[in-house]
Structure 1
Amino acid sequence: MEYRTGRMGRVFYVRFDHGDDLLEGLRGLVLKEEIHCAWFELFGGQRRVDVVVGPEEPVMPPNPVWRRLDNVRELLGVGSVFRDRGDPLVHLHGALGHRDETITGCIRERAEVYLVVEAVVYELLDMDISRPFFDGGGFHRPEFGRGDRD
């Protein structure tokens, strides 16, 4: 385990509208506002979502199991945004429910908003964190720079 201490910066309350791409919207906000590290919480409706629901086997690197959801789903999610060579990488996990069925996983690539999604984005300051590709695991993982070490 590794960790860093920091402080809260700006807080953004964001509304994503029907048809918006949620992941692109989060990346766009991060670029426009020059956010380097952030945590977010969100809820609302999704339609046409691609989600990883786990690995086929518990090995590294993992072979992801994908689900493409084309029906309307209620969304409750949390995530982080860190940079990799300047590019913001969104890591969003969510529970996506429709009637009696809920799928939980890592939302990737496609996340079309149905009606509205509301989000609170918390900027994290004084924390030198990036998300480069971790060759040993086959995924992007947070890495800590030389900032405050505890």
Structure 2
Amino acid sequence: MEYSEGRLGRVFVIRLEDGEDLISSLDRFLAEKEVASGTILFLGALRRGRLIAGPREPTIPPTSPFVEDLEGGWETFGVATIYPGGGGEPRVHIHASVGRSDKVLTGCLRERADTYLVVEAVVFEILGLGARRLLDERSGLCLPVLEERF
């Protein structure tokens, strides 16, 4: 287990409008506000998007993911972590649950997630955190690497 300790910095409340891409909008906002580390909570609805709902087999590295393309109005809520990448830019990892009628999915939002009506997000900045999101050779994924800090 690794850990790092930080302190709460700024808190932002964001409203994304119909048609805005949740992923690219958050990426732009975090870069503009220079938020290096933190977490995001969000809720609302998505018109379309792509969700990775786990691998077909639990192997390392993971292969053959279940890819779900979302179309229509899907209710959603989720959480994301923010850590700097290798070049210092904020890197966001988003997991969400989505539902429409009697179908419910949970997974990692990737590539695009277009807002339907509205998505409300709260960004909590964490200061003094010793964290980076770096490529892990074993898994082939960009994972958080934490260092102990006080």
Give the TM-score category using the shorter length.
over 0.9
Residues of 1 paired with 2:88 and 2:141: CA distance? Answer: 17
Amino acid at match of 1:49: G
User: How do 1:83-122 residues align onto structure 2 when only pairs under 5 Å count?
Assistant: 83-84=84-85, 85-122=87-124
- Give the drift of 1:33: 0.6
In structure 1, the residue matched to 2:26 is 26
User: How do 1:1-150 residues align onto structure 2 when only pairs under 5 Å count?
Assistant: 1-63=1-63, 64-84=65-85, 85-145=87-147, 148=149
Residue ranges of structure 1 left out of the alignment (5+ in a row):
none
- Give the drift of 1:71: 1.8
Residue ranges of structure 2 left out of the alignment (5+ in a row):
none
TM-score (norm 1): 0.94
Spell out, residue by residue over 1:13-55, the C-alpha distance to the aligned partner (whole angstroms, 9 max, x if none): 0000100010011111110011110101000010111000001
Aligned length: 148
Q: Which has the higher strand share?
A: 2
Superposed structure 1 runs of 4+ greater than 2 Å apart: none
CA RMSD of aligned residues (A): 1.1
TM-score (norm 2): 0.94
Residues of 2 paired with 1:110 and 1:32: CA distance? Answer: 20
